[in-house]
A and B are shown apart, each in its own frame.
Chain A
Amino acid sequence: MSKKILLEHIDVPGIETLEVYRAKGGYASVEKALKTMTQDAIVEEVKKSGLRGRGGAGFPTGMKWSFLAKPEGVARYLVCNADESEPGTFKDRYLMEKIPHLLIEGMITSSFALGANTSYIYVRGEYFYIIKILEKAIDDAYKAGLLGQNILGTGYNLDLHVQAGAGAYICGEETALLESLEGKRGNPRIKPPFPAIAGLFACPTIVNNVETIAAVVPIVNNGGDWYAGIGIGKSTGTKLISASGHINKPGVYEIEMGITVEDFIYSEEYCGGIKNGKKLKAVVAGGSSVPILPADLILTTANGEKRLMSYESLADGGFATGTMLGSGGFIVMDETTNIVENLYTFARFYHHESCGQCSPCREGTGWMEKILHKILDGHGTLEDVDLLWEIQRKIEGNTICPLGDAAAWPVASAIRHFKTEFEEFVKNPSAFKKVKHYHNMHGLATA
């Protein structure tokens, strides 16, 4: 059964408005937190809940919050990461568009818990129509006394602003995001210092994903223990999954952690099975950065257990036979999919998005894109496949930020699990019907 916590009221007409949202119990967490709880008590509930960051890394939110430095007289900031640019991921957009006040409520309650008096929501620039929706929601919250000076008469002050990005995946990396929010190029910073010590404007800062912030609302309302009782093991609560590709019902689904992958793909409640009655070939389970898995390994672990939608089960087997939950961007590929060409779209993406600070990432992503392009054009050799493997190996772990790893993993996993397909492709490119098409496309390749 689907378990709706964040999306409980998503189908209520008018839920995007403050009136309807409040009529459905909205902003109760602000009342409760500001009027009856201490900052430490809120952090404690978030710790108890077991909530883990929903932006991709899965770091425990309560623990992150407890690292926030609190020097006397220095401002602290909460910055919401709504950059959402990981291919395959569109859940934050859905949440902000359909139920914007849930994010605003989470920002107020979380900012109070962290002692922040100014907070920002950094939204990718392409989402300007979402920015409009958020600005309206914020405006209404100010008018209702939920933002600004002396919120609900408690003496707590908070200003909340939306910041627009301008097209750069790397600005989803938290330190690049902070650079961008300071009006600079989105070059990731070298850590330490971590943002919790020196973040925005060199002040202590917490960066959290949209879905993470939204989950704080039910946690404060119902308690950390209640949230921890949902889900499985250390994967507590629910997760928004963005489902795309060759399925009958693409869309955003809220799942309780621990349902089987098989159920997620084939049940009518979620993806509704593979489109056109085709067979499943492969899945990228957590956004473009995580390893691709062939059908057998995504449905069952190497030990023969049913694979579950949870941090632990998806990672079971390490990179040899497992993958990661990541951002929950679930891309499904049917039996007709050309794995080499799919990988090319990822390689092109990472090359385009590399900020260029580290040579292994800047040069390596470019090489990988070029080699894959050469293979697709029908000029590849077996040595090229080995070269791809070597390059990804030399990027991984040798860069300032994790984009380098994120670029390497899709290449490594595609070759690991589909090596014969690469070999067959270079030996007999014309057997792959897409190749001819690729020649047609050549003139359209990005400059």
Chain B
Amino acid sequence: MITTKEIKFDNETLAMVQSIIKRYPEGKHKSALLPLLHLAQAEFDGWLSVPTMDYVASLLNIKPIEVYEVASFYSMFNLKPVGKCLIEVCRTSSCWLRGANEIVEHIGNRLGIKNGETTADGKFTLKTVECLGSCGTAPMLQIGEQYYEDLTFDKVDALINEWNNKTEHSKYLDVNTFRKN
């Protein structure tokens, strides 16, 4: 869960960083901050440590504080370590109407954790979130890039079993998500 790797992108990712910076006018490279933080979080175990954020600041030649203030604003950026599988369950109106609270409760019971907690083995973190734009297929949850919709307890159980056997981290994106300009 805690990063042991050196905080440095590989050459492929560094090339993508340059490609992303080119999307903005000369001198406006700070616009690349959100995409870079996403890449960094995906690369460095699903969260943004201070050394990771400082590394992103150095890539964009901006002050570390400019990175911290942004990273702390957006809910998708984790400033603390999370489990290998981050389960994000929507429980806003449309999902609540179709049983989201029961889904949250079921997952909590299955994993023996409460909302916001991580299992002792570091495998799962449970987090409730607000509307993910999947209200027509409620209840729903997100793991990494993937949406899981029209949930039932059986579907949730199958997902937990599936992720129990995985070794990789759930991720919203990888280096190939963005187009090379």
Contact = CB atoms under 8 A, between A and B. Distances in A.
Interface of A: 75, 84-90, 92-93, 118, 124-129, 131-132, 135-136, 138-139, 159, 161-169, 180-186, 201, 242-246, 250-252, 284, 288, 329, 331, 333, 337, 341-342, 345-346, 348-349, 352-353, 355, 437, 440-441, 443-447
Contact of A250 (B101, B132, B137, B145): B137
B157 interface: no
Contacts of A89: 131, 133, 135
Nearest to A353: B130
Given A125-B172, A169-B130, A345 B28 contact: no
Contact of B133 (A126, A159, A243, A288): A126
11 contacts: A124-B133, A125-B38, A126-B142, A167-B77, A169-B130, A201-B28, A243-B136, A244-B138, A352-B75, A444-B128, A446-B116
**Which of B73, B93, B137 is packed against the most chain A CB atoms within 10 Å?**
B93
Interface in B109-128: 114-116, 128
A199 B148 CA distance: 37
A357 B76 CA distance: 20
Interface string B135-157: 11110001001110000000000
B173 interface: yes
B130 A165 contact: no
B38 A288 contact: no
A331 B135 contact: yes
B179 A138 contact: yes
A88 B90 CA distance: 12
B34 A87 contact: no
Contacts of A246: 97-98
Interface residues of B, number: 54
B91 to A, nearest CB: 7
A185 B32 CA distance: 13
Given A251-B136, A440-B105, A135 B177 contact: yes
B108 interface: yes
B132 to A, nearest CB: 5
B135 A166 contact: no
A201 B26 CA distance: 11
Contacts of A118: 25
Given A139-B179, A167-B76, A345-B93, A444 B31 contact: no
Contacts of A88: 93-94, 131, 135
Contacts of B30: 182-184
Contacts of B73: 168, 185-186, 355
Chain A interface main SS type: mixed
B135 A129 contact: no
Given A88-B94, A128-B173, A129-B146, A352 B130 contact: yes
A284 B74 CA distance: 27
A333 B97 contact: yes
Interface in B10-46: 23, 25, 28, 30-35, 37-38
Interface of B: 23, 25, 28, 30-35, 37-38, 66, 69-70, 73-77, 91-94, 96-98, 101, 104-105, 108, 114-116, 128-138, 142, 145-147, 172-173, 177-179, 181
A30 to B, nearest CB: 19
A136 B31 CA distance: 22
Given A89-B131, A135-B178, A162-B178, 15 more contacts: A87-B130, A90-B136, A126-B133, A131-B177, A138-B179, A164-B35, A166-B77, A244-B135, A246-B97, A337-B97, A345-B96, A346-B93, A353-B130, A446-B116, A447-B115
Contacts of A166: 34, 37-38, 74-77
Nearest to B144: A128
A39 to B, nearest CB: 22
Nearest to B77: A166
Contacts of B105: 440-441, 444
A445 B91 contact: no
B162 to A, nearest CB: 18
Contacts of A161: 23, 181
Contacts of A136: 179
A128 B172 contact: yes
B92 A345 contact: yes
Contacts of B23: 159, 161, 163
A312 B30 CA distance: 43
A346 to B, nearest CB: 6
B103 to A, nearest CB: 11
Contacts of B179: 135-136, 138-139, 162
B74 A168 contact: yes
A110 to B, nearest CB: 19
Contacts of A85: 130-131, 133
Nearest to A83: B133
Given A244-B135, A446-B116, A342 B96 contact: yes
B64 to A, nearest CB: 14
B94 A244 contact: yes
Nearest to A341: B96
